[in-house]
Amino acid sequence: MRLKEGNKEQDILNAAVEIFAKHGYHKAKIRDIAEKANVAVGSVYVYYNNKEDILLKIFENIWEPLYKELKKIYENPQLSFRQKFDYLIDLVFDCFIEEPYKAQVFVNEQNFLRKKSPKKFTNYYELFMRTGEKIFKKGIEAGVYNEVDISIFKRFILGGLRDLLLEWANKPNPTNLNNIRESVKFFCKKGILKKK
Amino acid sequence: MRLKEGNKEQDILNAAVEIFAKHGYHKAKIRDIAEKANVAVGSVYVYYNNKEDILLKIFENIWEPLYKELKKIYENPQLSFRQKFDYLIDLVFDCFIEEPYKAQVFVNEQNFLRKKSPKKFTNYYELFMRTGEKIFKKGIEAGVYNEVDISIFKRFILGGLRDLLLEWANKPNPTNLNNIRESVKFFCKKGILKKK
Amino acid sequence: MRLKEGNKEQDILNAAVEIFAKHGYHKAKIRDIAEKANVAVGSVYVYYNNKEDILLKIFENIWEPLYKELKKIYENPQLSFRQKFDYLIDLVFDCFIEEPYKAQVFVNEQNFLRKKSPKKFTNYYELFMRTGEKIFKKGIEAGVYNEVDISIFKRFILGGLRDLLLEWANKPNPTNLNNIRESVKFFCKKGILKKK
Amino acid sequence: MRLKEGNKEQDILNAAVEIFAKHGYHKAKIRDIAEKANVAVGSVYVYYNNKEDILLKIFENIWEPLYKELKKIYENPQLSFRQKFDYLIDLVFDCFIEEPYKAQVFVNEQNFLRKKSPKKFTNYYELFMRTGEKIFKKGIEAGVYNEVDISIFKRFILGGLRDLLLEWANKPNPTNLNNIRESVKFFCKKGILKKK
DNA sequence: GATGAATGAGGCTTCATTCAT
DNA sequence: GATGAATGAAGCCTCATTCAT
């Protein structure tokens, strides 16, 4: 039989990330994805059921490693809660540092996709959020974190990160991203008001 | 019931906010907007050049009052920087507290619209951001705020607020919004780490 | 407002009959129907939900008058059973005598459509068949017709008519159709075996 | 279970009959046929040039034995014309009595296929029809059959049989088919009108 | 022969926008 | 201004067929 040529499945996914990032999911055309992947239009449908399926796969690929890494942080007894917070932030940034297109898709399409297909959206997102929540909860119990409303705080943090990622992704530059990362850590930990 | 007063322009805008919120800008149909507004499809084009034009108007209507109110806060010598921060947060929440549909459009469509038509996007957004920046700058100079990177901080705050607004808008409830508001103020000012 | 120009709904239907007849339902293209009707492709969807909907309408238009006329025959006390049979046959032939395209669609697409969308298929078909059945039943009770199995006989007759209609429709010619009509009447009434 | 004996060609044909029957020729997918035949898609094209070719082969397989059997009837001097008619009807029913799928394909696809590819359609069909015609002609000359228009009568009979076969094939049951068979013989021979 | 990955032409349908009244 | 019928470009997806192994 005819063997698989190269890795079309991955090529298509990479192309989709770029096309979705540049034009947005709705304006992105399957034809453009296929062309970018050096693949025929029909081949896209050999590997994915439809356009939405591609986007779902992209988010699966984002949230699965994020969750798995966060789990390690959560379960690591060596780390202080201060460190755990820093590492959580690092995790998100590291996920996108070399991949601004992925960052754009992540920021721009998640809300839409979760609303449209909540059943199909990757479970790793929920797992990630719950694990983050558990870290905060333990940190509060340990008296290290302030007694914030965790469910609100976690959304706030993630939302803030998203906007920063997007801005960076429009003019990607690793140095900037590291500046951003440290700034975020600083004011998430210290807040805006100077200690007296 | 109040009789139709012939303010079709506003009826269409209100309808558009709801339809955009429910289906997203791209999936929203002009026909649905017209129906919701009790207006013929053609009438939509009497008042707006095209679909995008409606969305631009919605954002104009959001950012103009936000900017104007923020300017008052900025210029008010009576307010401490601590208060100014609180008021800034209140401003954003008050803008949406009775209008979850508006919140959803605000959160979901701004990035897309700014990217697609940066020239046409309301200037009040930039004015608002710059004014916020000036408040922070002065607060830092006054030694009240920590020396955060303002351009990063402002995006972070706004991003965090957006995600929270969206979550709330999916199950709108004024009490919740006020809880969220106070939580946000707390940890933006204090940070997550407890003072020793 | 813009008024309806001519009668596009009917134009489209007429065009569809011709295109369906020539190419068959499955190979028929909406574009060809639109062109034949001197109408834009989109206009087809102003009047019909989809391709199948057009075909359903065609069969509605065939079976509704057939049923209504047959009902008159059934209820007419002036007619002998011998006449009723002749009139039934005439009814079907008259329905198609000037319209070979309609005959082709009638013959070629009914089975498919009934199988695909039994719920949406016109009720007049069932009504027609039941009325025909009632005529035969009464004719048998009156001792005029042989005691054939009606449910079988009615299908046989209709099936035979269909094939004849199709052959005629491929080379339409009113004279032929009248020959066919009289032949059918003859052997349906007398059978193939000569009376001794 | 009998082990696979490697008769892919026949397996594919059998699978095609079932798939064509269930979905209709146009909606039938080569992939489904291949799956049903436990064969790879490509293998279908080892044995058949294309989809239409499969259908042509199915009809060849139907009409060839029909013709050959009818020829025997025609040439058999032992049989009365009365018997010849009965045997003709039996022939058609026997062809499908164990194979409702084949009946469905026979009824639903012949018109389409003959129209689309008259050149490629099996010659045995024409031979069958001509032989049937000859039987009737001789029966008329012998004064046994009524002087019907043979070319019309043969189409009528065949059309009637088709509709009955289809109805039966949708709910196959050998007993019913034998009832149908006898009914058909009865009224084809006697007609609907009772002898006075 | 056997396989199934790869292809790409083609069609149905949608829907923002236009325009005649 | 108001209307809604009419338009037609554009895109997702299907699937028969091909072909490299």
Same domain as C99, residue C62: yes
Nearest amino-acid residue to F6, taking CA and C1': C43
Same domain as A66, residue A20: no
Assigned domain for D71 exists? yes
Q: Are A177 and A95 in contact (CB under 8 A)?
A: no
Crossing angle of the two packed helices B100-116 and B51-75, in degrees rounded to 10: 100
Nearest amino-acid residue to F20, taking CA and C1': A2
Same domain as C81, residue C7: no
How close C11 gets to chain D, by Cα (Å)?
A: 26
pLDDT at residue B2 in the model: 43
- Along the 196 residues of chain B, how does pLDDT read in single tens digits? 444 457 899 999 999 999 999 999 999 999 999 999 999 999 999 999 999 999 999 999 999 999 999 999 999 999 999 899 999 999 999 999 889 999 999 999 999 999 999 999 999 999 999 999 999 999 999 989 888 899 899 999 999 999 999 999 988 787 788 889 999 998 888 877 676 5
How close C29 gets to chain D, by Cα (Å)?
A: 14
How far, in Å, CA of D164 to CA of D180, rounded? 8
- Provide the phi-psi class of D143: left if phi over 0, else alpha when psi is between -120 and 50, else beta: left
Range of the domain at A23: 1-48
How far, in Å, CA of C88 to CA of C73, rounded? 8
Same domain as C73, residue C62: yes
pLDDT at residue C3 in the model: 67
- Choose among D108, D149, D194: nearest Cβ to C146: D194
Position C188 pLDDT exceeds 90: no
C176 phi/psi in degrees, rounded to 5: -55, -45
Assigned domain for C118 exists? yes
Assigned domain for A106 exists? yes
Same domain as B25, residue B120: no
Chain A residues in contact with B166 (beta carbon < 8 A):
111
How close D125 gets to chain C, by Cα (Å)?
A: 15
Same domain as A4, residue A92: no
- Neighbouring CB atoms inside 10 A of C119's CB total 4
pLDDT at residue B4 in the model: 47
D92-133 pLDDT tens trace: 999 998 899 999 999 999 999 999 999 999 999 999 999 999
> How distant is C1' of F1 from CA of B46, in Å?
8
Assigned domain for D30 exists? yes
Residue A165: which CATH number? Answer: 1.10.357.10
Assigned domain for D195 exists? no
Assigned domain for D131 exists? yes
Assigned domain for B108 exists? yes
- Do the two chains B and A touch, given a threshold of 8 Å on CB pairs and at least 3 pairs? yes
pLDDT at residue D191 in the model: 77
D66-96 pLDDT tens trace: 999 999 999 999 999 989 999 999 999 999 9
- Do the two chains C and D touch, given a threshold of 8 Å on CB pairs and at least 3 pairs? yes
Q: Are D108 and D24 in contact (CB under 8 A)?
A: yes
Of B87, B190, B184, B63, which is closest to residue B135 (Cα–Cα)? B87
Nearest amino-acid residue to E17, taking CA and C1': B50
- Choose among B156, B180, B192: nearest Cβ to A163: B156
> How distant is C1' of F5 from CA of A32, in Å?
34
Of C181, C158, C187, which is closest to residue D85 (Cα–Cα)? C187
* Residue A182 neighbours by CB under 8 Å, 6+ apart: none
Same domain as A164, residue A107: yes
Instruction: Work out how many domains chain A is built from and give that number.
Output: 2
D181-195 pLDDT tens trace: 999 998 888 877 666
Whether C108 and D111 lie within 8 Å, measured CB to CB: yes
Same domain as C113, residue C55: yes
DSSP for C68-132 reads HHHHHHHH-TTS-HHHHHHHHHHHHHHHHTT-HHHHHHHHHHHHHHHHH-TTTS-HHHHHHHHHH
Same domain as C58, residue C24: no
Interface test with D, best of C85, C135, C151, C152 (most D CBs within 10 A): C152
How far, in Å, CA of A49 to CA of D75, rounded? 60
How far, in Å, CA of C58 to CA of A95, rounded? 59
* Nucleotide nearest A43, from its CA to each C1': E6
CA-to-CA dists, residue D50 to A161, D24, D47, D60, angstroms: 56, 16, 9, 16
C39-93 pLDDT tens trace: 999 999 999 999 999 999 999 999 999 999 999 999 999 999 989 999 999 999 9
Q: Are D149 and C179 in contact (CB under 8 A)?
A: yes
Chain A residues in contact with B194 (beta carbon < 8 A):
143-146
pLDDT at residue B3 in the model: 45
* For D149, nearest residue in chain C (alpha carbons): C183
- Choose among B112, B188, B195: nearest Cβ to A108: B112
How far, in Å, CA of D63 to CA of D127, rounded? 9
Same domain as A25, residue A67: no
Chain D from 20 to 49: CB within 8 A of any C CB: 24, 26-27
Whether A111 and B107 lie within 8 Å, measured CB to CB: yes
Contacts of residues A62-67 at CB distance under 8 Å and 24 or more positions apart, as own/partner, are: A62/A95, A62/A102, A62/A106, A63/A122, A63/A124, A63/A125, A63/A127, A63/A128, A64/A122, A64/A124, A65/A95, A66/A91, A66/A92, A66/A95, A66/A124, A66/A128, A67/A124, A67/A125, A67/A127, A67/A128, A67/A131
Give chain A's end-to-end CA distance (angstroms, integer).
Answer: 74
Same domain as D158, residue D139: yes
Assigned domain for C172 exists? yes
Residue D38: which CATH number? Answer: 1.10.10.60
Same domain as B117, residue B39: no
Chain C contact present for D158, CB below 8 A: yes
Task: Name the least confident of A178-192, B2-16, C116-130, D51-65.
Answer: B2-16
pLDDT at residue C60 in the model: 97
